């Protein structure tokens, strides 16, 4: 059973928490330092209890020296380390997987790209309540309450999540100035409408159906991601949250299908290939290769459903 997946904040904060370079320090006596540290290496979960996860990593390098490391849990700053290469996350839920990222920073405020892993707490004891599944997929994705192995709702509410993203994207229209941005914004909204209303594509609980209509929806999601990412610079700047959210929804749909099929057939060659696709897609997602990540997620969904 897959126990993996998504991201630091998906904008407003994003899945995944790639922190931009901060302000740099300059003085009359020296040139400004705008070189960021290297990414921390070998981020590893070294131990776990029901409520804690212990982490370690290897040192970053920097032209002026690394000042410390910031540790994020599901996109939220959990703590800072100024000496050493270890940290313990506390106050966690049992039997829950978290997205953990570590970024190095220097004295000038430059921040490295994050090292990222999925880290899981120990199984719940008999006196521990099971971890809660968020009430909607939209909450799961955008508030980053990503709790693997905690009664996943098997893809339910994916349709509602797309409709929620459509509402968010529609609100961006009032911020657009150019006719080209407005044109592609309109096309993206039309594609999302077509995806959520596609005949035969959705089950009663908003689960994408494993058929040709469902595959058409997957491609419409991909087209919207492509439009938001490449078709217009102005639209790109205002719709980053929606682009990440749609990619995350595609992940959720695909990972849920993988879990469903794995429970039935186990580790077959097809399922192993699908798992490898998911792993590669995770890497793309964290590297901000959103459209490529979507392509891999869609391929997983096609592969496990034989489409």
Of 55 and 279, the one with more pLDDT = 55
Tens digit of each residue's pLDDT (9 = 90 or more) over 227-242: 998 888 999 988 888 8
* Residue-range domain boundaries for the chain: 1-137+146-151, 158-305
Over range 75-96, report the average pLDDT: 89
DSSP 3-state assignment of 43? strand
| Residue 61 CB neighbours (<10 A) | 12
Q: pTM score, two decimals?
A: 0.54
Confidence check: pLDDT of 294 > 80: yes
Q: How far are the Cα atoms of 10, 129, 246, 284 from residue 234, in angstroms, in the given order?
A: 19, 47, 19, 24
Question: What does the alpha-carbon distance between residue 154 and residue 258 come to, in Å, rounded to a whole number?
Answer: 10
Confidence check: pLDDT of 135 > 80: no
Question: What does the alpha-carbon distance between residue 172 and residue 175 come to, in Å, rounded to a whole number?
Answer: 6
Q: Which CATH number fits domain 1-137+146-151: 2.60.40.10, 2.102.10.10, 1.10.3720.10, 3.40.50.2000?
A: 2.60.40.10
- The one-character DSSP state at 11 is S
Closest CA to 287 of 144, 140, 61, 113: 113
Question: What does the alpha-carbon distance between residue 229 and residue 237 come to, in Å, rounded to a whole number?
Answer: 9
pLDDT at 198: 94
Over range 133-154, report the average pLDDT: 43
Q: DSSP E strands: which ranges in the chain?
A: 41-48, 53-58, 66-73, 76-81, 86-89, 97-106, 115-120
* Predicted confidence band of residue 30 (pLDDT cuts 50, 70, 90): low
Q: How far are the Cα atoms of 112, 172, 285 from residue 244, in angstroms, in the given order?
A: 21, 15, 9
Question: What does the alpha-carbon distance between residue 138 and residue 158 come to, in Å, rounded to a whole number?
Answer: 8
User: Which residues, at least 6 apart from 239, have a Cβ–Cβ distance to it below 8 Å?
Assistant: 169, 172, 185, 188, 228
Asked if residue 12 has a cis previous peptide bond (ω within 30° of 0), the answer is yes
């Amino acid at each position: 059973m897959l126990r993996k997946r998504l991201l630091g904040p998906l904008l407003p904060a994003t899945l995944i928490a790639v922190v931009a370079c901060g302000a740099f320090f300059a003085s009359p006596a020296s040139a400004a330092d705008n070189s960021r540290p290297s990414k921390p290496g070998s981020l590893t979960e070294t131990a776990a209890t029901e409520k804690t996860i212990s982490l370690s990593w290897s040192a970053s390098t920097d032209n002026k020296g690394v000042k410390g490391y910031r540790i994020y849990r599901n996109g939220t700053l959990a703590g800072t380390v100024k000496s050493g290469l270890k940290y313990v996350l506390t106050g966690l839920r049992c039997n829950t997987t978290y997205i953990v990222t570590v970024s190095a920073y220097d004295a000038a405020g430059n921040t490295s790209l994050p090292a990222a892993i999925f880290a899981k707490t120990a199984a719940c004891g008999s006196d521990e309540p099971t971890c809660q599944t968020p009430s909607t997929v939209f909450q799961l994705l955008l508030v980053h309450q990503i709790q693997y192995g905690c009664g996943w709702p098997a893809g339910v509410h994916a349709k509602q999540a797309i409709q929620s993203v459509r509402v968010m994207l529609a609100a961006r229209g009032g911020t657009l100035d150019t006719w080209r941005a407005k044109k592609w914004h309109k096309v993206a909204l039309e594609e999302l409408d077509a995806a959520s209303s596609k005949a035969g594509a959705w089950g009663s609980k908003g689960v994408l159906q494993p058929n040709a209509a469902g595959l058409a929806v997957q491609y419409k999601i991909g087209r919207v991601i492509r439009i938001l990412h490449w078709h217009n610079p102005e639209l790109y700047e205002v719709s980053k949250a929606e682009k990440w959210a749609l990619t995350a929804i595609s992940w959720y749909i695909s990972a849920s299908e993988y879990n469903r099929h794995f429970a039935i057939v186990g580790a077959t060659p097809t399922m192993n290939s699908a798992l490898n696709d998911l792993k590669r897609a995770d890497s793309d997602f964290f590297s901000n290769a959103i459209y490529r990540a979507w392509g891999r997620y869609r391929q997983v969904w096609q592969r496990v459903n034989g489409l």
